[in-house]
Amino acid sequence: MRGPRYPAPIADLPATVPFVGPEALERQRGAPFRARLGANESVFGPSPFAIAAMQDEAVEIWKYADSSHLDLKGALAEQMGVTPANIVLGSGIDGLLGNFVRLLVAPGDAVVTSDGAYPTFNYHVAGYGGVLHKVPFAGDHEDPAALFAKAAEVDAKIVYLSNPDNPMGTFHKGSDIAAALDHLPDGCVLALDEAYIEFAPSGTTPDLDPEDPRVIRFRTFSKAHGMAGARIGYAVGAQGLIKSFDKIRNHFGMSRISLAGALAALQDKAWLGDVLRLVDDSKTRIARIAEANGLTALPSGTNFVAVDCRGDGAFARAVLAALAEDGVFVRMPFVPPQDRCIRITAGRPEDMDVLEQALPKALAKARAA
């Protein structure tokens, strides 16, 4: 009896996932983590108004959500100075990136990204048979000029760039990205991942015409708004491109509970401001803990800090493993030379207390090994 007949791009792929989740790691170690500082979630949580809105909406869960998502798109459009027709919603940036790749990439099409950038994007490209071309980081920054030059060389359909960057936390001026767009080849679209834009310094957001067909911007409620489990992302782009998502998106794939929470969260500016201050305080403390242990914290425009362990990737992996054994969940970049670092998410003061106690022990264990 024959089983499923997988298309070639799927049959040839290994059965892997981009990240092993902290819950799986906890099951492997047989105990919960003392400090969850690896997934770039907001431990400070969502707005109380968002929680209340989601609780109120629970009694309506028997209904599908409005497939147009008009209430939330309207509020986002007002905030960003665009129209609702410039916005599409999806299940986090991950889900929207999958839809975007599905929309544009056929087997054999070229796509350009940075070597060591967010791996979930690569996962989608591979799943649709695209051919990835990777450009190295330049001084712990993604390199727009090199990315766009590679796109011209290989006739790429998409260039992926995150600003601020994950996993390094570095960032470019928005004006530099806007100027670099003049070198993007015809027929190529920049997928600009702005998941961490709320944490970035002023001037990081490029001033772009929403009808510019060369770029689509991806944002999320998972980070600054503390709603990673709600899976609410949105993309902003030219109306023609956004309308094309209707050809392939899951029109009833959003939860009405999550949509209600996101709308309430967007309106609570005071809570967002408090979270941004708490994140800044935590990043300052991470930098101090790193310095006290002879390490270097990289400048960060995100809710995490990349910490240079002053060794190679093997040493950083040993530090990571020792922290995990001691109940501290962090992650690290995958590709050298960025893999000399570990990546620590901002946390509560009590999380920082755990990190401060655990890091010197982890470093000593890694050095002894």
Domain boundaries defined on the chain: 19-45+270-368, 48-267
Q: pLDDT tens, 46-63?
A: 999 999 999 999 999 999
Q: How large a percentage of the chain has pLDDT more than 90? A: 95
- pLDDT band of 343, cuts 50, 70, 90: very high
CATH number for the domain whose boundaries are 19-45+270-368 = 3.90.1150.10
State residue 9's pLDDT score: 84
- pLDDT band of 149, cuts 50, 70, 90: very high
Residue written as token pair 């093997």: 314
State residue 230's pLDDT score: 98
CA distances in angstroms from 290 to 261, 326, 329, 344, listed in the order given:
36, 17, 16, 10
User: Does residue 15 have a pLDDT over 80?
Assistant: yes
Mean pLDDT of 181-192: 97
Mean pLDDT for the chain? Answer: 97
Q: pTM score, two decimals? A: 0.96
Phi, psi of 262 (to 5 degrees): -65, -40
Annotation: CATH topology of 48-267 = Aspartate Aminotransferase; domain 2 (3.40.640)
Could you tell me which residues come within 8 angstroms of residue 364 by beta carbon, excluding any fewer than 6 positions away?
none
| DSSP state for residue 3 in the 8-state scheme | -
Q: pLDDT tens, 206-243?
A: 999 999 999 999 999 999 999 999 999 999 999 999 99
Mean pLDDT of 253-276: 98
Could you tell me which residues come within 8 angstroms of residue 75 by beta carbon, excluding any fewer than 6 positions away?
263, 266, 267
Check: CB of residue 189 under 8 Å from CB of residue 215. yes
Which residues lie across from 221 on neighbouring strands?
A: none
How many alpha carbons fall within 13 Å on the CB side of residue 348?
8
Rounded Cα distance, 287 and 346, in Å:
11
Which residues lie across from 296 on neighbouring strands?
A: 308
Smallest Cα–Cα separation from 365: which of 292, 300, 309, 283?
Answer: 309
